[in-house]
Amino acid sequence: MIIRPATLADLPAIAAMHIENWQWDYAGVLPRAGLAERLATYMSRKWQPDALARGKVLMVPRDAGVAGFVAFDPDHADGVFIDNLHVGRTERGKGVGKALMVAVAKAASGRRIVLEVLADNTATRAIYAAWGGMEGPAFEDEILGAPVVSHLVTWADPVALARGLSSGAGS
């Protein structure tokens, strides 16, 4: 599987996948209005060219689009912070997410990995648990102006994470 840094030319496809995933995965979690107008505006701002300067964005290309991507800050005060990890709906279950997480683990240089997941996103929480992520207590957050409950998930040992995922642990 090819994983490469995202380029400016990739940003529209990344934004489109990000929108599609949120509209699918967060339907019923976020208000419908937020998943329409507000989401498109939010993503158009998020995936501007400076997105590539704010951290690292890696992607798995597929045909003329993106099979999956991960955006992370390797220099975050709390460790390596994953801002987004998304796999296209038709690519799920094919190892794309695992491969991207292994790439982050290898880039972590021994620093712990942290991400935030919505409490209502039970399928993703189960994947992170299978990958050995330790889920913290629930806390209140906000997405697109709507209150949500989230958890921080932490992998203290990125070397063990990469080794486990490379050997087939989790799905």
- C-alpha to C-alpha distance for 17 and 32, rounded to whole angstroms: 18
Mean pLDDT to the nearest integer, 121-127: 93
pLDDT band at 65 (very low <50, low <70, confident <90, very high): confident
Q: Contact 43/51 with Cβ under 8 angstroms?
A: no
Give the pLDDT confidence score for residue 171 in this predicted structure. Answer: 46
Between 29 and 23, residue with greater pLDDT: 23
pLDDT band at 40 (very low <50, low <70, confident <90, very high): confident
Burial of 135 (0-12, 13-18, 19+ CB in 10 A): middle
Q: Is the pLDDT of residue 59 over 80?
A: yes
Q: How far is CA 29 from the centre of its chain?
A: 17
Give the pLDDT confidence score for residue 63 in this predicted structure. Answer: 86
Lowest-pLDDT range of 21-30, 67-76, 78-87: 21-30
Alpha helices in the chain (DSSP H): 11-25, 39-46, 51-54, 96-107, 122-130, 158-166
Reference 169, options 79, 71, 108, 101; nearest CA is 101
Give the global pTM.
0.92
- C-alpha to C-alpha distance for 129 and 108, rounded to whole angstroms: 19
Extract the tokens encoding 171. Answer: 């799905």
Does CATH place domain 4-166 in 3.60.21.10? Answer: no
